Amino acid sequence: MPMTPEQPQNGHNGHQNGNGHSAADGTGTAVTGSGSSHDQRTAAGEDAQTLTTRQGHPLSNNQNIRTVGNRGPATLENYAFIEKISHFDRERVPERVVHARGAGAHGVFEAYGTVGNEPIAKYTRAKLFQEKGKQTPVFVRFSTVGHGGHSPETLRDPRGFAVKFYTEDGNWDLVGNNLKVFFIRDAMKFPDLIHSQKPDPVHNRQTGERIFDFISNTPEAMHMVAFLFSPWGIPANYRQMQGSGVNTYKWVNAQGEAVLVKYHWEPLQGIKNLTAAEAEAIQAKNFNHATQDLFENIKAGNFPEWELCVQIMSDDEHPELDFDPLDDTKIWPQDQFPFLPVGKMTLNRNPENYFAEVEQVAFGTGVLVDGLDFSDDKMLQGRTFSYSDTQRYRVGTNYLQLPINAPKKHVATNQRDGQMAYHVDAAPGQNNHVNYEPSSLNGLKEAPRSAPDHMPQYTGRLIRQTIDRQNNFKQAGERYRLHEDWERDDLISNMVGALTDANKVIQDKMIELCTNCDPDWGRRVAEGLQKANNGKQAEGGNQYNQQKQEQAVEQAEARGHEAKPY
């Protein structure tokens, strides 16, 4: 039988909390604040709507703290107030360092049972793909990457596209972006990349100089530049953008044989992007437009859909290619490795509580189920540690006990304690004195093997080196030439605008890198910068843009309307 949101696998409706009450409702969906699964017992004089403290004490006065006289001072034993204000002080978990601004929704993934025209079992034994029509509940979080939690959704930035599949074998997280390539190919550089895109550590302002200082010394980033500084860097909304796993993964079949795969989400609503000017006009009216668009379309029953496609490649080095297939700054050409449909995702239910679901949902690239595996992609290997490590810091050691993160199936572990543990992952009838394995005293036991492990063979020296086939400029130049005229115009305009105030050495390096990708690209950026420099000189100096910014600061004071104190 297919696993649907209405029918949880194995008869398990959810985890048990510390009082023995289900943390999920009978449909297998997360309970986020109300529902019949919560204890409804009331004391004399109470009903289901009676306000209480978190300890269950009825709260008869929620308007005033306890004071000596009605003017104060207050006393220390104000338990209800202390509980309320101390929780309020902690209402926000640390913001994600990246992907802070996000929106999310629940839905379902329906498998085709095939990959292209072939039975999917030929390539993977992952259960969620095997049967035509098989349904798996999902939760999706879309996000911007470099900007803060309340930043406008019109800013130039890659968009995160993360999908949590609640499969019968446990959770699978497919964590990627809307763009199919990334800036860097080695995880060692990720903190440097993000630091260059974050505000200056001294004056706390983002600058084009910082971003292009890093990029000008990182030539593999040029393929991403070709996308990000074009209209592809500002999707019109979350519904009408592609998604990609970005990194290379593996599929493993019942014989333990593996192939390399790339994942792609193709929106059935079509794809729409914005120019910088169009985005600025939208931002002036609504800087939450993408979140609103997703929520209101789902609320109206206009459920967005994406088809999941994969590209498949044999698991070897492919010396016939002019790039390394594990390099996440590259795209696998579709004429050689076609997109093969494997299923369709539909988002059909909005969150009931943003914080409990969208903010606390936690993804990790290491969260795979049987039949899916890691490739040797160096970025993927680094992400696999970083993502889950971030969640343990940000949300807490027991983040996987939260309903939005918990698998919709049996869970039994020997992991105990830690901050905010609210139930024990114990099996029915298990000896609770035994929190280790192996044991002869009725403890947990290993699962039986159902298929052979995938066992790749490795021979080589342990080294720190860049990959051999870098080819940093070919695909970037191809993308530049594939852009339509208006997309190239926007790309040049955005790059010139960001580079205008950068140091000349950075400008010159970027012109050289653009020229290496395509001579026309380099020529147009050089001409744009020359024109901008001439304009600044005509306005009285090389620091014209900086002067404009300083003038704005001065104008705010000079034009501000005086007010009398009160």
* Residues forming the active site: 99, 177
Both tokens of residue 249?
């993964």
Distance of alpha carbon 270 from its chain centroid, rounded?
21
- DSSP 3-state of 136: strand
DSSP code of 337? S
Please list, in sequence order, all residues whose beta carbon lies within 8 angstroms of the beta carbon of residue 418, skipping any fewer than 6 positions away: 396, 397, 398
Phi, psi values for residue 86, rounded to 5°? -70, -35
Residue type, 38: H
Among residues 8, 309, 34, the alpha carbon closest in space to that of 166 is found at 8
For residue 218, give Cα distances in angstroms to 146, 168, 248, 329, 495. 18, 42, 21, 11, 16
396: left (phi over 0), alpha (psi -120 to 50) or beta: left
Chain-centroid distance, C-alpha 545: 34
Which among 174, 216, 211, 217 is positioned nearest to 194, based on CA atoms? 211
CB 430 within 8 A of CB 444: yes
Whole-angstrom CA distances from 437 to 4, 29, 219, 464 are: 33, 32, 49, 37
Assigned token pair, 274:
């914005």
CB 22 within 8 A of CB 14: yes
Q: Residue holding tokens 């400008």?
A: 507
Q: Residue-wise over 191-229: b if at least 16 C-beta within 10 A, else e?
A: eebeebbbeeeeeeeeebbbbbbbbbebbbbbbbbbbbb
d(CA 114, CA 366): 25
Measured between its terminal Cα atoms, the distance across the chain in Å is: 70
Question: What residues have CB less than 8 Å from 82, skipping those under 6 apart?
Answer: none
- CA 528-531-534 angle, to 5 degrees, is 150
Integer Cα distance of 540 and 433 in angstroms = 79
What letter represents residue 32's amino acid?
T
CA distance 273 to 271: 7
Whether 311 and 336 have beta carbons less than 8 Å apart is answered as no
CA atoms within 13 A on the CB side of 228: 25
Say if CB 261 and CB 248 are below 8 A apart: yes
Q: Are strands 102-111 and 170-177 parallel, antiparallel or unpaired?
A: unpaired
Closest CA to 455 of 315, 254, 250, 257: 257
Which residue has tokens 């395509």? 518
What residue type is assigned to position 5 of the chain?
P
